[in-house]
Amino acid sequence: MHILPFKALYPNMELIPAPEYFFATVREEFPEYHKSGFFRKAPAAGFYIYQIECAHRHYWGLVACVDLRDYAEGAIRKHEQTIADHEQKQMQLVLHRNASVKPVLLTYPHRPTIRQWLEQQAGSSLPMLEVHFEQEQQHHRIWAVHQSENLQTIRTLFLEQVPVAYIADGHHRLATAALVHEKLDTTYDKEKYGVLIAAFFSTAELEILDFNRVVYALEDMDVATFVAKLSQVFDIEILEVAQRPGCKHELTMFLHGHWYRLSWRAHVLAQSASGAGMLDAALLNDWVLKRILGIENVRNDPRIDYVEGPRGLEGLRKRALRDDRNAAFALYPIQIEDLLALADMGEVLPPKSTWFEPRMKNGMLVQVF
């Protein structure tokens, strides 16, 4: 994997008394913030060590630029289809800002020597930027790496040990960057837009959480009929208390004030496709949303609402209670080994299949084109 140093912009925290508000609005307001002097420019091109401290652990990553040729040639692999109108919106944002305000999140199989290098470099100096986010109870810290021998060391480690990286978050941003690069005419513009900021967190640093669904399901069907139809594809067990799914091919449902454990029947699994078609999200889309509820396009049907895993079962329940015609489904998280294997096979996951932690903030490191 070819990684490239760059001169980052980073926020001047002396001018930012309300970090939560600033970082929540910088995606749309970056040109104005930049013009008003809210950002500093790094003195030299470098790499940036990014640490996120949460209550239960520290996450370590490296922020660098990637060559878009690696994306075009398949060394940066995807697991999600992009949507044309989302790419159009991303393109408008990129050209309006003339900058990328958040790294694409890439992952790669854990390499102990890279993790050791990150910790050693961070331990030898103070961070150039440290921000506390009260709401999430997180500390975000960034160290700059500018010294030429250190730059060469980590570039060599990535070149030798990371032949392939996988998109965890940012499929549309990468696709848009590649499209912008392709459409440009001049050599200068192609070079300027030929690299994109990315954050590399190894598979040991990432957590994949569930991404759950609330479905407006019972407008034309009573509860008894819906449960009867579900019983044709699931073994159903009533739960005394809310429980997360315990394994692959097990779901939890909240319906009319009650929790249920759902396990796919053997004939469903036997008739389903291999690969991504065997994921619980794909099975739910096909056997329940499409065949029982008539929802053909899960990407844009307004009857489906997606709920991030960190909101927990209580967040899912509250969302379902907004309408008594809702049914909520909690899914078991996809395992990182399955995700990488599917990406290697060129397969894509159903929409909203994964929620990755950690989550970086817009505006912490900015690449100006």
Q: What is the pLDDT of residues 110-125, one digit of tens each?
A: 999 999 999 999 998 9
Of 308, 9, 352, 310, nearest to 137 by C-alpha is: 310
What is the distance in angstroms between the CA of the first residue and the CA of the last residue of the chain? 21
Check residue 288 and give its pLDDT.
96
Treating both helix axes as pointing N-terminal to C-terminal, what angle do 84-97 and 19-35 enclose, rounded to 10 degrees?
A: 60
My answer on whether omega of the bond before 5 falls inside 30° of 0, hence cis, is no
Mean per-residue pLDDT, 259-288 = 92
Check residue 300 and give its pLDDT.
79
Residue 244 sits at the vertex; the CA angle it makes with 249 and 250, to the nearest 5 degrees, is 10
Mean per-residue pLDDT, 292-297 = 91
**Domain spans in the chain, listed from the N-terminal domain onward:** 3-207+356-368, 211-332
- C-alpha 10/C-alpha 4 separation (Å) is 18
Strand pairing report for 304-308 and 211-216:
antiparallel
Model confidence band, residue 80 (pLDDT cutoffs 50, 70, 90): confident
Mean per-residue pLDDT, 35-57 = 95
For the chain, give the mean pLDDT: 91
Tell me the Ramachandran region of residue 137: left when phi exceeds 0, alpha when psi lies from -120 to 50, beta otherwise. Answer: left
154-158 CB contacts, 8 Å cutoff, 24+ apart: 154/3, 154/47, 154/62, 154/114, 154/117, 155/3, 157/111, 157/113, 157/114, 157/117, 158/1, 158/2, 158/3, 158/114, 158/200
pTM recorded for the entire structure: 0.87
Check residue 174 and give its pLDDT.
85
**Is the pLDDT score of 44 beyond 70?**
yes
- C-alpha 158/C-alpha 145 separation (Å) is 15
SS3 358: coil
Query: Which residue is associated with the tokens 């305000």?
Result: 101
Check residue 158 and give its pLDDT.
97
**Is the pLDDT score of 316 beyond 80?**
yes
Q: What is the pLDDT of residues 216-247, one digit of tens each?
A: 988 889 999 999 999 999 999 999 999 999 99
**Is the pLDDT score of 142 beyond 60?**
yes
**Is the pLDDT score of 83 beyond 70?**
no
266-273 CB contacts, 8 Å cutoff, 24+ apart: 268/233
Contacts of 86 (CB under 8 A, 6+ apart): 172
**Is the pLDDT score of 82 beyond 70?**
no
- C-alpha 1/C-alpha 159 separation (Å) is 5
**Is the pLDDT score of 263 beyond 90?**
yes
Check residue 6 and give its pLDDT.
96
Q: What is the pLDDT of residues 123-134, one digit of tens each?
A: 989 999 999 999
The pair of structure tokens assigned to 308 is 């991030």
Check residue 260 and give its pLDDT.
98
The pLDDT > 90 percentage for the chain reads 72
CA distances from 40 to 15, 37, 122, 178 (A): 11, 8, 21, 27
Check residue 185 and give its pLDDT.
60
Model confidence band, residue 197 (pLDDT cutoffs 50, 70, 90): very high
**Is the pLDDT score of 188 beyond 60?**
no
Using the CB atoms, write b or e for 317-347: b if 16+ within 10 Å: bebbeeeebbbbbbbbbbebebbbebbeeee
**Is the pLDDT score of 285 beyond 80?**
yes
Mean per-residue pLDDT, 171-194 = 73
Residue 199: CB atoms within 10 A of its CB come to 23
Check residue 186 and give its pLDDT.
63
- The helix or strand, by DSSP H or E, that contains position 140, with its residue range, turns out to be strand 138-145
- The helix or strand, by DSSP H or E, that contains position 264, with its residue range, turns out to be strand 258-264
Contact 65, 196 (CB under 8 A): yes
Least confident of 68-77, 81-90, 340-349: 81-90
Mean per-residue pLDDT, 124-149 = 94
Check residue 354 and give its pLDDT.
86
Check residue 177 and give its pLDDT.
82
Least confident of 127-136, 186-195, 323-332: 186-195
- C-alpha 38/C-alpha 12 separation (Å) is 5
Mean per-residue pLDDT, 132-158 = 95
**Is the pLDDT score of 327 beyond 60?**
yes
Treating both helix axes as pointing N-terminal to C-terminal, what angle do 148-161 and 112-123 enclose, rounded to 10 degrees?
A: 160
Mean per-residue pLDDT, 166-185 = 80
Q: What is the DSSP letter of 366?
A: B
DSSP, residue by residue, 178-226? HHHHHH--SHHHHHHTSEEEEEE--TTT-EEEPEEEEEE--SSS-HHHH
